[in-house]
């Protein structure tokens, strides 16, 4: 994770949108993805993923309702190898934050992540 993404997360903490536990969990998530897929997530390629993940975790912790994604738009993502490997990453987030990530939110995160990995 590059310095610009860390700055993005720190700004979200400073603005009260996420807490430090979420920031640390997002950093751990990104490092795990970088290790598994041998890539470097930067502001350029990962800003949407990191922002969405951080904000989504904040919404979940606050108990806010999550919107679902159109199934037709998401069908292609569900067929990717990456999508099928993501449960272990979600499990770690849920354990670290003591939350349950709704499937709709997992789908949005998967969309960002699968797009990032497909473009390496």
Does residue 69 register a pLDDT over 90? no
> What confidence score (pLDDT) does residue 23 get?
98
> What confidence score (pLDDT) does residue 71 get?
82
Q: Residue 84 and residue 30: Cα distance in Å, rounded? A: 17
Q: Which residue has the higher pLDDT, 102 or 65?
A: 102
> What confidence score (pLDDT) does residue 67 get?
82
Confidence of residue 68 (pLDDT cuts 50, 70, 90): confident
> What confidence score (pLDDT) does residue 55 get?
95
Picking from 112, 92, 118, 120, the residue whose alpha carbon sits closest to that of residue 46 is 112
The position carrying tokens 């598994």 is 36
Q: Are 13 and 23 within 8 A, CB to CB?
A: yes
Q: Residue 9 and residue 102: Cα distance in Å, rounded? A: 22
Does residue 61 register a pLDDT over 80? yes
**Chain mean pLDDT for the chain:** 93
Does residue 73 register a pLDDT over 80? no
Q: Which pTM value belongs to this model? A: 0.90
> What confidence score (pLDDT) does residue 52 get?
93
């Amino acid at each position: 994770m590059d310095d610009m993404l860390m700055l993005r997360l720190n700004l979200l903490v400073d603005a009260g949108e996420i807490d430090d536990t979420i920031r640390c969990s997002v950093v751990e998530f990104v490092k795990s993805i970088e290790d598994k897929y041998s890539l470097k997530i930067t502001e350029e390629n990962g800003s949407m993923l990191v922002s969405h993940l951080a904000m989504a975790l904040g919404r979940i912790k606050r108990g806010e309702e999550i919107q679902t994604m159109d199934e037709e738009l998401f069908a292609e993502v569900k067929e990717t190898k990456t999508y099928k490997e993501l449960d272990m990453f979600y499990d770690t987030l849920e354990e670290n934050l003591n939350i349950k990530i709704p499937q709709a939110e997992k789908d949005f995160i998967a969309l960002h992540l699968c797009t990032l990995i497909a473009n390496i």
